[in-house]
Amino acid sequence: MSYEVKSLNEECGIFGVWGHPDAARVTYFGLHSLQHRGQEGAGIVSNDAGKLYGYRELGLLSEVFKDDRQLAQLKGNAAIGHVRYATAGNGSVDNIQPFLFKFYDCSVGLAHNGNLTNACSLRTELERDGAIFHSNSDTEILMHLIRRSKKETWLDQLKEALNQVKGGFAYILMREDCMIAALDANGFRPLAIGKMKNGAYVVASETCALEVSGAEFVRDVQPGEIIIINGDGVKIEHFTKDTQHAICSMEYVYFARPDSNIAGVNVHTARKNMGRNLAKEAPVAADMVIGVPNSSLSAASGYAEASGIPYELGLVKNQYVARTFIQPTQELREQGVRMKLSAVRGVVAGKKVIMVDDSIVRGTTSRRIVDLLKEAGAKEVHVRIASPPLKYPCFYGIDIQTRKELIAANHSVEEIRQVIGADSLSYLSEEGLINAIGLDFDAPYGGLCMAYFNGDYPTPLYDYQEKYQASLKEQTSFF
């Protein structure tokens, strides 16, 4: 997952466990395997027999929980945790989750992955009615709606609130007496349930976090479901039955870890299939196939296998991330780029290379990699992208909200080829992607959200509608 060199950011990863004596520690390990979903901050809320404890901080998980002291204070046999995506600059600890709300009558922890499409209007409405928000995050809204609901039981209050928020969301709540998971009506974001050997239940954004916890996969949370976990086991409720599957296809293409399964489909396998289909759709004569580490290695090996062209390690990624504020200044800028990724001169020199990548956002990184390969002596560089062109923003939880930053929204494939300096460029077709993933829900695209590729949003856009319409008329040059 080459998050360091790409400007695509997942919104978050969430995790929860109920029934384990070392709940905070299990959550720490779970979050560690979800770290690729968010690097800005992390936190855990634990539940010790009804008393909730919380700790959250800016930074990587290993920075937030620097030693055992913080974890030791998060007592209890249940816990939820959160890793938040990295944004430039305005990071404040106020936005780091899980949120821990303490009321006169109860306490609640809340963690959220996704993006609400009516957050802005709900928030204004609530503030007009006297509500005070303490973060910029959409997440707080759910708690205000719950607390203002006039329903009698907390479950009915929760259902009412969940029906008011629109867009993509996977929530985990920690109440004093139970842990709750809920998924939006379209199932945009993944959320899976597992069971540990000691009977503890685990909920996580990706199945890789079940594996690391030693939990066995039980089932995916389904769109519209509320999962209630406590000492009595798992109970399933629904806040709506008006649901469908529109699973984020970019989870398969780029975000999720290759060892995770989403809706029963292994991510590595899906990527390998994308590579295979790409080889069939866009063959080219060359000496070798190389993948851009790490997210494109699966697709590259699939392309190699299907094409019969050898798979080579032509690019090496430095595992140590340098502080970005050590600026390479002027002529050294070029070296800065080379700190992250190096071309293997001994492998690519004098060769025709097929470079497989998962996607292109702005094209800047692709251009740099093509440059690296050519400087290392590659005779030809043929770029093959294992997904269709990214042309439309996402409003359900991925950090692309304008068409301005998407090269494919502003340029033809041939123009992009020129921008990145490749000898040829091809993308996987929409059908090729859908086929590679191979879902077959009774829903458009077999149950995938393909909106970034074709603008076919599965829901109304609410607060974003107007801005989106305007953006369709604008054009930006990337040359």
| Residues known to be catalytic | 12
Asked if 207 and 194 count as a contact pair (C-beta separation under 8 A), the reply is yes
* Region 5-34 residues binding its own copies, contact defined as CB under 8 A: 22, 25-26, 28-29, 32-33
* Region 60-89 residues binding its own copies, contact defined as CB under 8 A: 60-62, 65-68, 71
State yes or no: residue 251 binds its own copies (CB under 8 A): no
Bond before 118 cis per omega within 30 degrees: no
358 is in an annotated binding site: yes
Q: Which stretch binds its own copies (CB under 8 A): 43-51, 139-147, 439-447, 470-478?
A: 139-147
Compute CA distances 141 → 125, 258, 327, 435, whole Å.
Answer: 11, 33, 39, 38
Radius of gyration of the chain, Cα coordinates, nearest whole angstrom = 23
**C-alpha 368, offset from chain centre:** 24
Alpha-carbon distance of 324 to 380, in angstroms, equals: 31
Compute CA distances 213 → 201, 219, 228, whole Å.
Answer: 10, 16, 20
State yes or no: residue 332 binds its own copies (CB under 8 A): yes
State yes or no: residue 448 binds its own copies (CB under 8 A): no
94 is in an annotated binding site: no
Compute CA distances 111 → 58, 96, 122, 140, 157, whole Å.
Answer: 15, 9, 19, 10, 18
State yes or no: residue 404 binds its own copies (CB under 8 A): no
> Shortest gap between Cβ of 307 and its own copies (angstroms)?
13
Nearer to its own copies by Cβ, of 330 and 477: the residue is: 330
User: Assign residue 263 a region: left if phi > 0, alpha if psi is -120 to 50, beta otherwise?
Assistant: left
Q: Which stretch binds its own copies (CB under 8 A): 127-135, 174-182, 225-233, 274-282?
A: 127-135
> Shortest gap between Cβ of 32 and its own copies (angstroms)?
5
Q: Which residues contact 85 (CB under 8 A, 6 or more apart)?
A: 9, 10, 11, 12, 37, 38, 39, 40, 399
State yes or no: residue 140 binds its own copies (CB under 8 A): yes
The DSSP call for residue 63 is: H
Sole binder of its own copies in the list 319, 442, 477, 479 (CB under 8 A): 319
Compute CA distances 329 → 82, 317, 318, 325, 336, whole Å.
Answer: 36, 22, 20, 10, 9
The DSSP call for residue 405 is: G
287 is in an annotated binding site: no
> Shortest gap between Cβ of 314 and its own copies (angstroms)?
9
State yes or no: residue 312 binds its own copies (CB under 8 A): yes
Nearer to its own copies by Cβ, of 190 and 458: the residue is: 190
Nearer to its own copies by Cβ, of 318 and 475: the residue is: 318
Number of amino acids touching its own copies (CB under 8 A): 90
Residue span 344-363 as binding mask against its own copies, x where in contact by CB under 8 A, dash where not: xxxx----------------
Binding residues for Mg(2+): 295, 357-358
